[in-house]
A and B are shown apart, each in its own frame.
Chain A
Amino acid sequence: MSSQPANAKSLTTDTITVSGRWAFLGLLGGAACWLAVAGVLGLIASIKMHSPTLLADSAWFSYGRLKAAAGGAFNFGFATQAAIAIALWLAAVLGRTTVKLPLLGAAASKAWNLGVVLGVAGILYGDGTGIEGLEFPRYAVGVLLFAFIGLALPVFVTFHNRTVRELYPSLWFVIAGLFWFAWLFSATSLLVHFWPVRGVLQAAVQGWFTNGFVVVWLFPIAIALLLYLRPALSGVSIPSRATVLLAFWSLAFIGPWGGIATGTPLPAWVGALSTSMSSLIVIPIFALCSSVGGLKPARSADPFAAISWKFADFSFLALVLFGVLTAINSFTAVYRLTQFTFVTAALQSLALYGVVLTALLAGAFQILPKIAPPSAMCARVGGLLLWVSRCGIALLILSLLLAGLQQVLALASAASFADATTASKMWFRMSTMGELLIALSGLMFLAYVCSTTFRALKAEYASCAWCGAGAKPAEVAS
């Protein structure tokens, strides 16, 4: 701390956040739009599960295309952009420096959004690659790879210019996560789009990417945020850095090995090794639990602190549940029954919505209120969003899990396959309610980001040198 420059001491979290407001608004604005789009597409797909004649005349809205487009919009449109916004914010706040290259970040977010538009539209048009989780066509991936350089650069430059040389544990996860994503995305894109591997080796590439995308890209950012938020909102420091160190290295060496199921038509050792390593994911999660699991929130008058804490709490709980269920599902006796059923979809939703979505929203509610002073209405919208999204996610995961278990029981009793799927129809209807609430959450989050952007623009406009004096936000010279 002694090496900290004098001007760094004057930096508060608010001033740091304001210094990168255009990058944050660009990234979170794009993320909010895609969350709403993913929610609506997912909702239509979910309705088609029990109303199969809906939009039957439109190729653009066939079930497979809708699911793939919704997944692409969520993973690349929402999750990746929001994760980069959180990474940038954590790099600046924990490094006690202003956000570097914020305009590059804002511009790159536009290019990234263009890539996602091309990707989602390409899938709906019928140009999807056919590889699950990597459906974006080549022309979209080219734009995304290019835009990613512009997104990652501000994070690394901000990190490099930090004034606190000691690395807070969240920064381990942020820097490693960004590096891992860059490798995962570029290597996989090359092997899918430019020098495609043949036959079943595509399954190896696909499994490595889809697992890595969640476990070593989105989870590290979610964990980084939890490691920062929980102690910060509790008013204490991290109880044990040693266990966080164990969590980091165990996640690094165990996490990327999952994703290839036993029985996949690759050499048998690949699936066996991958499934065994998946079961060990509980190690980093339990290490994390023992470090920041028992913290309680400090009393605060800030309604957004309470909202963030509750989102983070939900995310933490979902992470623990994900670890336990993944470990149970790794046993051959269990996996043989649950493979290909909705249990797999439930686990995927638990990871993406339960852990990632809620963690990223927890981070967004720490950033956005600092950019433009929120009104009382904003806090109410935030509170409502908290409840709607948590109910939607819980309902979706529960219904998919129950649908999966019903499928398992029906198939174990040698019922016909069609009967087993038909038996789950009630749970499909319940999952539609969950999807509806998640879509509503997306729309509410979009409204919140739009309102913040409007207020930030108003403040900027009011302080414009050409238009007269005004209350300029607490900006600092970078």
Chain B
Amino acid sequence: MNNGPFLFLGSFVALLLSWLGLVVVPQVQLRDLQPVKNDTTGKYYPLQRLGLARQGAEVYRANACYTCHSQQVRQEGYRFRAVLEKVGTNETELATALMKLNPRWQQSDAELFAQAEGEALTDMEHLTLQQKASLEARFDSTKVSEYGAKLRFDFIPTGADIEVRKWGVRASVAADYLYDDPLMLGSQRIGPDLSNVGNRWPEAGWQLHHLYHPRTKVEGSTMPDYRFLFEKRRIGAAPSPAALQLTGDLAPADGWEIVPTADALALVAYLQSLKVTEALFEAPTTVAP
């Protein structure tokens, strides 16, 4: 290959394709993404962070906290449960209607379902989002409401991040980061995922002590101390109400106290603002009972 222009043109096309595929097309696909309104609460999701939480995002960025903490919950699939919330009055008709759902069910099974209010009629795992509509339609086709009965459908996200580590209630999706700038998804989990930490650890006191000396709250933690976010100062006329209550080796000398700086308070406000529980069209969720 001795043709310079051909080499240049080929190289240009090669990178152009990846540029279009990985950068331009997702931009076109997501450029109209808007906050969505929750019909029940009337609130929009997501909302922009304001005030202290917004300042805290800057502290999070400046200290590159994303090096150790991800902000993306992974999900492996869905579990579908159809729960008979109300049996109604016509149990025989209800049993007959439910029999249509599964040919393997015997008359005795259906009668048992008809008598068991609050029971799950089915519990299916390893499902995809695409199966949601067809499953719901199948159960709706029984028209059990005509007999005064009521079915509830649970579509529960599954996966170790959600079920074992309880880091979130559903997978993270593009809409969750609509106002994140910069986007700090993180690529490693030296520490736990923080996408929903505002719900998991809402107490500011816990967060502040954890930042000052993580091992006071999590035994064996490898997280470095962030003491530069705190100020050691002489106690004035009265101890500061914001001072950390430290014991043992960590306690300051008599007459001294450890108080969080504005950066520490902002960072904690940011952590408290990290909440992802809203069910979205592309990420439906029913919290597992």
Contact = CB atoms under 8 A, between A and B. Distances in A.
B174 A172 contact: no
A270 interface: yes
Contacts of A68: 64, 67
Given A126-B63, A130-B182, A256-B14, A64 B7 contact: no
Nearest to A260: B22
B160 interface: yes
A273 B21 contact: yes
Interface string B214-251: 11001111111111110000000000000000000000
A197 interface: yes
A139 interface: no
B184 interface: yes
Majority SS at the chain A contact face? helix
Contacts of A265: 72, 171-174, 176-177, 185
A325 B217 CA distance: 37
B76 interface: yes
B224 A48 contact: yes
Nearest to B215: A52
B181 interface: yes
A52 B7 contact: no
A127 B225 contact: no
Contacts of A130: 60-61, 64, 66, 182-184
B74 interface: yes
Interface string A226-249: 000000000000000000010011
A370 interface: no
Nearest to A51: B224
Interface string A121-139: 0010011111110010000
B190 A421 contact: yes
Contacts of B146: none
A341 B15 contact: no
B67 A207 contact: no
A53 B183 contact: no
**Most central of B23, B29, B214 by chain A CB within 10 Å:** B23
Given A52-B214, A199-B33, A419-B220, A179 B23 contact: no
B205 interface: no
A64 to B, nearest CB: 3
A468 interface: no
B65 interface: yes
Contacts of A197: 27
Contacts of B138: none
A253 interface: yes
Nearest to A423: B220
Given A135-B64, A264-B72, A256 B183 contact: no
Contacts of A256: 14-15, 17-19, 22
A249 B182 CA distance: 35
B11 interface: yes
Contact of B183 (A52, A63, A131): A131
B231 to A, nearest CB: 11
Contacts of B61: 128-130
A265 B186 CA distance: 12
A199 B8 contact: no
A207 B183 CA distance: 12
B190 to A, nearest CB: 6
Interface string A317-345: 00000000000000000001001111011
A257 B7 contact: no
Nearest to B178: A199
A58 B58 CA distance: 18
B174 A64 contact: no
A421 B222 contact: yes
A404 B72 CA distance: 19
A197 B33 CA distance: 13
Interface in A43-71: 48-50, 52-54, 56-59, 62-65, 67-68
Best-surrounded residue of A62, A68, A183 (most CB of chain B within 10 A): A62
A199 B64 contact: no
B48 to A, nearest CB: 12
Nearest to A256: B18
Contacts of B2: 165-167
B266 to A, nearest CB: 13
Interface in B11-35: 11-12, 14-15, 17-19, 21-23, 26-27, 29-30, 33
B10 interface: yes
A11 B107 CA distance: 95
Interface in B179-197: 179-192
A179 B10 CA distance: 11
A202 B183 contact: yes
Given A56-B224, A130-B61, A199 B30 contact: yes
Interface stretch (A287-295, A376-384, A410-418): A410-418
Given A49-B222, A245-B1, A425-B222, A175 B8 contact: yes
B274 to A, nearest CB: 14
Contacts of B26: 201, 204, 266-267, 270
Nearest to B69: A64
Contact of B70 (A64, A212, A252, A340): A340
B227 A199 contact: no
Contact of A414 (B12, B19, B164, B190): B164
Interface of A: 48-50, 52-54, 56-59, 62-65, 67-68, 123, 126-132, 135, 165-167, 169, 172, 175-176, 179-180, 183-184, 187, 191, 196-208, 212, 216, 245, 248-249, 252-253, 256-257, 259-261, 263-267, 270, 273-274, 336, 339-342, 344-345, 411, 414, 417-419, 421-422, 425, 428
The 9 closest A-B pairs by CB, nearest first: A64-B64, A126-B62, A130-B182, A256-B18, A130-B61, A252-B14, A56-B225, A340-B189, A202-B183
Interface of B: 1-2, 4, 7-8, 10-12, 14-15, 17-19, 21-23, 26-27, 29-30, 33, 60-68, 70, 72, 74, 76, 160, 164-165, 171-174, 176-192, 214-215, 218-229
10 contacts: A62-B228, A63-B64, A199-B174, A199-B183, A200-B183, A204-B26, A257-B18, A257-B22, A263-B74, A265-B185
